Amino acid sequence: MMQNDVVVVGGGISGLTLAYYCVQAGMKTTLLEKSDTIGGSFSSPQYSANGKKFWLELGAHTCYSSYQNLLDIVDSCGITETIIPREKVPFTLLVNDQIKSIVSQLNIVELLLNGLNIFKLKKDGQSVKSYYSKIVGEKNYNNVVSHFFNAVPSQKTDDFPADMMFKSREKRKDMLKNYTFKGGMQSVARVIAAKSGLNLFTSQDINSVKYENGLYEIRSANGGEYSAKKLVIATPSAVASKLLWDIHPDIANHLGQLKAAEVDSIGVIVRKENVKLQPVAAIISPNDLFFSIVSRDTVPDDNYRGFAFHFKPGLDDKAKRARITEVLGVSFSKIEHTISKINTVPSLRMGHHQWHEKSNAMLKGKKNLFLTGNYFGGMAIEDCVSRSKSEFERMKG
Ligand SMILES: Cc1cc2nc3c(=O)[nH]c(=O)nc-3n(C[C@H](O)[C@H](O)[C@H](O)COP(=O)(O)OP(=O)(O)OC[C@H]3O[C@@H](n4cnc5c(N)ncnc54)[C@H](O)[C@@H]3O)c2cc1C
């Protein structure tokens, strides 16, 4: 059985960054990922045809100057020069199958009557719906704004804690306000994994964790066996709960209280000349089959355009294909390539802060168990890296 100081289960940005901190501190670290690629919701599959290459985001697509912990890692991996700006193309609404600007759909009088509340109201203790409907007005919230919020985690967000949706953080002054990376977000995941020199094993679906004689024993469905003094679980909360059931039932039960949504995404790559749609950053369509369509027009390409449709759960392929061709205005035969991906996103609810505090209290006495992921302080990339950093600091003691 392969011995380690630390084993990290889950190779999304949370697991990768915690593994990175461990390797930097000289710990023998192994990262185990279920999928055959690293990155989790950092997913930028590459397509190449006739010597032309194109990538498309099926998950995270934008970083901000306020992502300081991520940027520190990016800097120390020497990949700051791969940061590129995002083209300024609009976020739009689809109304009766017509692309509309957001402003055109807002009731300006209602907005003016409510807008000043932004200086008076606090987000603390408020849900997304209760806070934002007072800022933009109830009709604007219901008809327009709520659909943009729902598009962020691809689920209804009325009951999300308002202060977890968009956070204000200190910005790094020397950085673009928003940006991506040459090669897309997943290229960052790959570079972090490679630069840190950690032992990395993909296609490792971890299904058993035991604790004996001061060591964790971790096994995968295909026979992989690893052991470590310290265990990090960086999977979605339901998986973490299952893995800890036999050895830490109190924590497993606590993790089991959380809900999550599965985002069913289909990426579509089309030759540029075949799509007439105006360049957009994203399309949000109230009450449609999808929560959003995120476009690659933010990083224009000479040959292709790409669109990631983030569908609502439970739809069959026929319905999804039909909607893709309707919205893009192309026949399916003109679509050069499609790619599918399922991502898991937490369903944060009011009371999550208390849940989070209780998690930290429960983990305080556990010197060898560490949990990270997008279900603690928030789901933004920087929240994940911050969580990994604070768990690493707890590990150092
Ligand atoms: C469509 C979409 C768009 C987003 N856009 C943005 C954005 O633009 N900006 C932003 O800041 N945030 C964005 N987010 C949120 C952010 O990207 C995610 O919250 C973050 O990347 C999650 O990272 P994670 O490592 O916590 O989880 P994940 O990325 O889900 O990683 C968990 C990993 O655990 C692995 N795993 C699961 N079970 C096992 C097992 N049994 N054994 C081994 N491995 C296992 C999974 O395969 C996965 O790789 C977006 C999220 C989605 C889904």
For the chain, domain boundaries: 2-41+182-259+350-396, 103-165
Q: How far is the CA of 183 from the centre of ligand 1 (A)?
A: 18
- For residue range 168-205, list pLDDT tens digits in order: 899 999 999 999 999 999 999 999 999 767 999 999 99
Is residue 29 very low, low, confident or very high in pLDDT (cuts 50, 70, 90)?
very high
Q: Measure the CA–CA gap between 59 and 43, rounded to whole angstroms.
A: 5
Please determine, for residue 233, whether its predicted confidence score (pLDDT) is greater than 80: yes
Q: What is the pLDDT of residue 386?
A: 98
Q: What is the pLDDT of residue 234?
A: 98
Q: Measure the CA–CA gap between 173 and 179, rounded to whole angstroms.
A: 14
- For residue range 300-355, list pLDDT tens digits in order: 999 999 999 999 999 999 999 999 999 999 998 999 999 999 999 999 999 999 99
> Residue written as tokens 């972090």?
192
Nearest CA to ligand 1 atom 19: 379
Q: How far is the CA of 95 from the centre of ligand 1 (A)?
A: 30
In CATH terms, 2-41+182-259+350-396 corresponds, of 3.40.50.920, 3.50.50.60, 3.30.930.10, 1.10.3720.10, to 3.50.50.60
Please determine, for residue 3, whether its predicted confidence score (pLDDT) is greater than 90: no
> Residue written as tokens 């673009």?
176
Q: Measure the CA–CA gap between 395 and 8, rounded to whole angstroms.
A: 13
Chain centre distance of CA 115: 30
267 ligand 1 Cβ < 6 A: no
41 ligand 1 Cβ < 6 A: yes
The overall average pLDDT reported for the chain is 96
Q: What is the pLDDT of residue 222?
A: 97
Is residue 397 very low, low, confident or very high in pLDDT (cuts 50, 70, 90)?
confident
15 ligand 1 Cβ < 6 A: yes
- For residue range 362-382, list pLDDT tens digits in order: 999 899 999 999 999 999 999
16 ligand 1 Cβ < 6 A: no
* Strand spans (E) along the chain: 2-9, 29-32, 46-49, 52-55, 63-64, 83-85, 91-95, 98-101, 178-181, 199-201, 206-212, 215-220, 225-233, 259-271, 282-284, 290-295, 304-311, 335-347, 369-371
Q: What is the pLDDT of residue 362?
A: 97
Structural tokens at position 164: 């977890």
Q: How far is the CA of 380 from the centre of ligand 1 (A)?
A: 10
60 ligand 1 Cβ < 6 A: yes
Q: What is the pLDDT of residue 166?
A: 86
- Ligand 1: nearest atom to the Cα of 239: 38
380 ligand 1 Cβ < 6 A: yes
Q: pTM above 0.95?
A: yes
| Residue of 14, 17, 34, 41 to mutate, ligand 1, most atoms within 8 A of C-beta | 41
In 3D, which of 122, 120, 148, 124 has the Cα closest to residue 350? Answer: 124
